[in-house]
Amino acid sequence: MVHIADALQRMHRAEKHGQALALSLYQHILTPSMTTNWSMPLIFCQLNESYCAPLVNIDKFSAIVYNPSSISNQVWMRIPVAEQQTINLDIDNVKKFSIDAIEIGTINLSPILQSIPIVQARNQLQELIVRVHVPPLSLQAIPFIISSSDTISHQASGLYVFRPIGTNPPQQVNIKHFYCFKHKGYEEIIQVYSSYVNQSIRLLDNSPYIEFEWIVGRLNTNVEFVTSYESKDLNNNGIYYTDSSGRSLMKRIRDQRDGYRFKQSEQSAGNYYPLVTGIMIQNAQQDLQMSIITDRAQGGGSIKDGQVEIMVSENVMIRFFYCNGMKN
């Protein structure tokens, strides 16, 4: 009588010998063009468990698809995707070698697959779905690239980059003095913060909005200046809306992204979006809404509930190399 543990050990050894034999055969069968995107030796992963630990620490790989049938076959690949990671087809090599593969998208791993016990803690909680057409009796190596979008970057702020130092809120600038002007149907308050920053607030008769106008000039070096609009009574629960190139409003959720698991590492920059015409926060239950309509393209977001923050100006003396070699 064979004990179950002994049988499992024998099966495991047989599996390892089979993998070694298959790897040796693949090394002889695959052509150099198929291995152009490889950065490590061939490995086996338990894709039926949606788990492949080596994918966490590499930046590119190729997945081998084998069609043993005598007719062409369509294969749906499911590639495990880890947190703080984005996996995509290497489109350049796919086109270069005329590989018939289409990237469908990334989905969340089902609770049933997440419940499968594995040796290590599971950190691959999504799957990339790719459809591949494989000719009969042939192998196809599908190239992929991996990027990490949530790690903390050391790129400094510049003309096309907003990345403030640290996670603390912006330092508040106090009002030094102010002026008031009042006429029939018109009221204005001019707030003076310093010799280079002042803001005018205008209340216009029969107008549904309050007008804000700021003047910012001669900022000190390496300073980014933002303006914040706050309402203590409005709780927007992390939801705000920004325009899509001046057209429809897009729903934004603080510290979240659609389609993949997102870990916020930059509280301010990670919640900023381009504003062409405006930004809005609201609470339907409270029947409250605050909308900021801009007269120029800016960047902004809702960093905390009841607040809208908009970039006004910056003076960052750091060299950058973006946009086809343009320098500043």
Q: Give me the tens of pLDDT residue by residue for the chain, a chain 328 residues long.
A: 556 777 778 887 887 788 777 777 776 666 555 555 454 567 777 666 677 878 877 888 888 888 888 888 888 888 888 877 888 898 888 888 888 998 888 888 777 667 767 767 777 888 888 889 998 988 888 889 887 655 555 556 665 566 666 556 677 878 889 989 888 888 999 999 887 788 999 998 888 889 998 888 777 667 788 899 999 899 999 999 999 877 789 999 998 887 667 777 777 888 899 998 999 999 989 899 999 999 888 889 999 999 999 988 776 655 444 444 443 3
Residue found under tokens 């695959």: 30
Domains 36-147 and 177-322 share a fold: no
Cα angle 114-266-255, degrees, rounded to a multiple of 5: 50
| Integer Cα distance of 325 and 305 in angstroms | 39
Residue found under tokens 């894709």: 47
Domain 36-147 falls in which CATH fold? Immunoglobulin-like (2.60.40)
| Integer Cα distance of 265 and 297 in angstroms | 25
Q: Are 257 and 266 in contact (CB under 8 A)?
A: no
Tell me the whole-structure pTM to 2 decimals.
0.53
Domain 177-322 falls in which CATH fold? Beta-galactosidase; Chain A, domain 5 (2.70.98)
Of 82, 78, 232, residue with least CA distance to 149 = 82
**What sign has the CA pseudo-torsion 309, 312, 316, 320?**
positive
The strand pair at 138-147 and 86-89 is best described as antiparallel
The one-letter code for the residue type at 142 is: I
Structural domain spans, the chain = 36-147, 177-322
